[in-house]
Amino acid sequence: MEKRYFADYETCITEAKNLHGGVCAGIVLGTRMTMIGLERIGITDPKNADRKKLMVFVEIDRCCADAITALTGCRPGKRTMKVYDYGKMAATFLNLETGKAVRVSTKGKRKQQGGEGGEMPDFSKIPEEDLFIVKDVNVSLKPEDMPGKPLRRVVCASCGEGIMDARDVEENGETICRPCSQKKNYYALA
């Protein structure tokens, strides 16, 4: 059976390269992951006719995410891309209209899949089944996880900062943000 992608590989890799600034292994893998994911969930026009039907969950904050952004138009600011940095070359593509979702991840031992002398192989030429794990999955979303305007805004009783979309927690009868609840931030005050 012939696969029907939303665009051909050369068009996709050029688009990803233009956003990222070059082509590297992550751009090639992200491009191929996106082509597979969109085809499997029935999205053919991700940036136009299907743009409100698509959400992507990316599991890495590297080059692969740039390829996915370039090809899908999904972005965190539009709430159509969720980034969970698990350090995995993986992404889940969700058709919001049909509920069909597929997770595409790379197989663990990529350097052994075609490179000579320890060099990185050309990932554009490795067959899909040798390079990727593709699984149908279920993704359940709450209303506050959907694209669109915030459904709720509250103020943290501890730090005074605003919190949107049910990302707050109740603690000792007060509404606080997660960093205050966990007593940790990714930054320290100078």
CB-facing half-sphere around the CA of 70: CA atoms within 13 A: 27
Task: Provide the pLDDT confidence category of residue 185 given band limits of 50, 70 and 90.
Answer: confident
Mean pLDDT of the residues in the chain: 89
Give the pTM: 0.86
Domains, the chain, in order of start with CATH, read 9-142 (3.30.1330.130), 153-182 (no CATH)
Token pair of 20 as six digits:
């990222």
Return the closest-CA partner of residue 97 out of 58, 136, 49: 49
In which element (H, E) is residue 18 found? helix 9-20
Contact 37/76 with Cβ under 8 angstroms?
A: no
Q: pLDDT for 110-150, tens place per residue?
A: 554 444 555 667 888 889 999 999 999 999 999 999 998 98
Dihedrals phi, psi of 174, to nearest 5 degrees: -120, 150
